[in-house]
Structure 1
Amino acid sequence: MSRLLLMIITLCLVLAASKLEARTIDIELQGDNGKVLGNQEKFPDGKEGDWKPYKMFKRVFLYLRSSDPFLSPPYNIVVEGGLPYFLDAYPLGGGPNHLAIYIDFASGYTEVPRDDYRGRTYNIIVSVSESASDEVTKVFPYTIEDLSPSVTTNKLTVAKAEHLYESESLSAVGGEAPYSWSASGLPSGLRIETDGAGKAFIAGTPDPASYVDSPYQVTLRVEDSSVGNPENFHEVTLPLHVIDPLELDTTELPDAWPGEKYSTELTASGGTAPYAWSLASTLPDGLEFVQRGDAAWLEGAIAEDFSSGTYPVELTISDSGMIHQELTSTLALYVREPEPVILTGNLPLAYVGFPYSVELRAGGVAPFTWEVRGLPAGLNVEVNPSSGATSIAGVPETAGAYVITLTVSDSQDPPAQSMTKVALIVTDDNPEDSNRVAMLTTYLPEAAASERYSATALRASGGSGAYLWTASGLPAGLQLSGSGNAWFITGTIEDTPAVYDVLLTVADATDPENASAATFKLLVQDSADEAPQQSGEPFTNNSALLAGAAAAGCSLGATHDSATLLALLILVLSVFLAVKATFAGHETMGEKV
């Protein structure tokens, strides 16, 4: 008996264990995953291929299964979290070992706001249990797809009046491509355009009058290519601002020269004042960037030893408008080589009927181009075709006192110019009968700072042949020395590179009142490489050389003040009158001083 009871108990335990091992619960998903099917359950045209899904959700079935043959419904089912507010989950009945639920519209919803659900994924949590000890939970992702088109462009680029509009492509999703686009509320001058690839964009140039303080309200409409779809379009309204563009009015900077004062104004327009200016680049030494009011200035003086070249000036201007504008622009500042220096400071006395030739000299960026005005009849400007040297040459025909204007242009791009005035006396005197001292030196060669100056001979004619020379304005380190008819400027320049005005006077050693004077430009550069010595005879006047006749001359530099100019003119006139007094009865023709 006891053995039989023991066997019954053992059998019950085995069966119980077998039943417990078989009681497992599983959850699996069947059916489509949230496809939008539309608001009707039939094919409008009777053709399956033409039917398009639009607004309703297809039911999603979750089948709950268990392999426990002894476990039968109902289960305890919980669907929680994640569902959009217009959907709900409904349990269905089931047979042995399974139970089903489905997802459909919640009660009262017949329209679905697409912008609330389009393209989103929700997590649906399903829990199944027969008791608290055997609960099974699974999470199912549920993605809602919208098959009607939707505009995804959510911002329009700011437009600038009278400027080509820089538009990005308009974008949409859903529906059936290709799309067609339209817009209303665009400012005058803008329109919708499409390209061959099916992309659309806003194009054009806003009219000048399109600039207003408040934005335009632009409605964009996209339609897809579906057939029979009452919801095949979507519209959005976006603000489009048209602004008065901030622009830099200054487009070029004037050239600058080392050592010279520089000042130029930079201006802007458009946008909303006040403006803020800033400089991002480094200016040449000696220049400053300052702002005064709504304008900026470049001013100062570039260092004399600063290298020539083109330097970038990078500017940033910003305005104070609600729609902030900032403009960056780079202008070119050309620091030029110094202007050419006219070295010719004296035109020796010329004689009517006798050949005359003086080569014009300048320092700077060679080769040079000369313009000469005020020459008397018979004298012309000649250019040597092989050397390029320019001379005043010919046979003067008319006596007189003339003021000759010399203008030289160098080879910079664009060329720089310098101008000076030099006196020229033309006499109808006989060279053999004149004993007047005349200065034949026409220029002083260029020099190099800290280097020895090549001995420069000073030349004169007339008088006794023995002369007394004096010089003022020589740079430190140079001195004038000599005797008789041999006088030189020598030494090593100790001064800084610059242009020095040197006044030379030559007088007869036996008659100091028999004299001639002229002012010369002496160009002192940084190094010998930049200061080549010019060679060649500066002046040829056969009659003066052969006969030792009297001559006189002086220069009138363009930089002299009016008092100095008047004094030099008086000197020229007095010399001319002294010469003419010997030959009374002759008439002086030409430009009189």
Structure 2
Amino acid sequence: MICARTGILIPALSLVAAMVAAPCCAQWEGDREQKLPLQNQSDTLNCPVIACEGASIDLRLVPVDGVVLPYRWRYLDADFRGSLPSGLEYSISDDSQGNVLRIFGTIGSGTSRDQWYKCINRQNQSPVVRDRSEPTPLDAQVYLGFWIDEAPLAVEPGSLPPVTVGKRYSATVAASGGHGGYSWGQATGLPGGLSSYDIGNGVLMIEGEADPRYARTAPYEFTVTVSDSEREGFREGYFGYKLKDSEVFSLSVPPVPLAISVADFEPLNAGVELDEPVKLSVSGGAPEYDLAVSGLPAGLEVRNLDQTTWEIYGTPSLTSGSYDPYVITVDVSDGAFEQQLSSMIFSLRVNGAAIKYTTRSFPAAILQSKYEAWVDVEGGLQPLTMAITGLPDGLDLFEDINTARWVIRGVVTDAALAGPHVVAVTVTDSSDPVQEEVMKYALIVIDPDDGPPPPFITTAFLHGADEGSEYAAVTLDAVGGIAPYDWSESSGLPQGLALTNDGADWIISGSPVVGSAGDYAVQLIVRDADNQTDSVILLLTVAGSSGDDSGDLGGDTAGGNLRELAVQAGCSMNRESPPVPVWLLVVALAAAFGAVRGAAHVNEEKV
């Protein structure tokens, strides 16, 4: 038979080896019972045994073919016992076939050496077994030797700390046993971003920063392999080898949970561009991220800023105002090989568009006659409420259920109320916070018995303009006096706007030239066929091409009537206007006082 460790050819009739050795130790291979046949001529049998420190040995040598029993063993003395490797004993026992030489025990530490243990007595005699035949006994001689290796080379098992994605990782794996001079192979099966290298003294370093794409719920299983240094054996070439050992380790790289966060933001307003986009941030998981947003109001979009940040930007459409908040869903997936998905829902409220009055003037009320004037607005968040003050007795405000509009109806019967009145209209919507806009109109009550009153300008405001853009034309309105009216004496319009007569009406139209941005005090003067006049100063704001303000097409957002305290006119601004210079107020008030006519009847709001 052949020794598995050494490759040495062993005589077939040599021994029974029942040897249990630690892993990586060579083991004798053969039947559990081998016979030592006795012959009439002494035959020498070689019995080499290869083992490691710590190996358990149970070796039985059983003589057979004897003629006269029992068998007898010779040269087994104290010297023989002393020649055995530390930890081994021997005994002679009887069994059904005769006396058996048993060598047994656990090989002690420190017994390894680079030479054979020769199991002989002091006279260099090896064990001999004989029967009791006469005159010449049958016998067999056994050359018994032990080659003892160091403790088995092994990768020390153990657990490794988990990897934290985004942080530097290091851990070590150690080898023990063997002859020393270890050589490590590259660990196989490590997650991306980690690698191994030999740092000496039998230690392998696992180090790096794990690629977050490799994070997963199940641990990684990776293998390390260590080799022992090469040694020379009893005979050149027979025992040259490298011991190797491998160990599989488990390494956890748990993923960081994928999460979405939304920065705080104020309620949005329909028709108004977001001053600060709504920021969306993604954390955890592994780039590249894929993010989708659904449920946004019309006019809003999403764009990517960097690897982890998106923003919602744009201008909610004029019709996007909603009493009920929008439910926005954000879905994100990451770029890990074991992909994570995450979703979140948040509410986004869009208030109504800016409230704008589209009714620019009220018709005159004729004493003792039915009166009707519609008050129209656009924008705001439904439902809207409207309140009014300053109406002469006999007139009141109603909500028309058929058209969902407001209307002033009634009959003025008191002749003492003839003359101009300043009527304040307040509209409040359901936004959060609420929008509240006030507009003041002039309403004149005419007594037919007094003859026609002088002309009275009822145009309450001029909406704002944008330089370089077409201006939404404004038709000038007046009541009283004797038609036709002439407005040609008006002045103060910005360059690019003009007052023209289309044959039926006087209209302000055109396009403010680039560079004309600013506040303009526009004096409107109307003259009737009887050469009677009325005048009013209205504020008109032209926004720059890159300015924050823009012209509004149906409301008084950038212009106003500076004659408010003069009974002949009323004004309002739907939003805060740019500050009016002091000199402009002085001019306006002077014009207002100059426009008051002694014949005009005024109410309690008159200056």
TM-score range, shorter-chain basis?
A: 0.3 to 0.5
Q: Which structure dedicates a bigger proportion of its chain to helix?
A: 1
Q: Which has the higher contact order (CA 8 A, sep 6+)?
A: 1
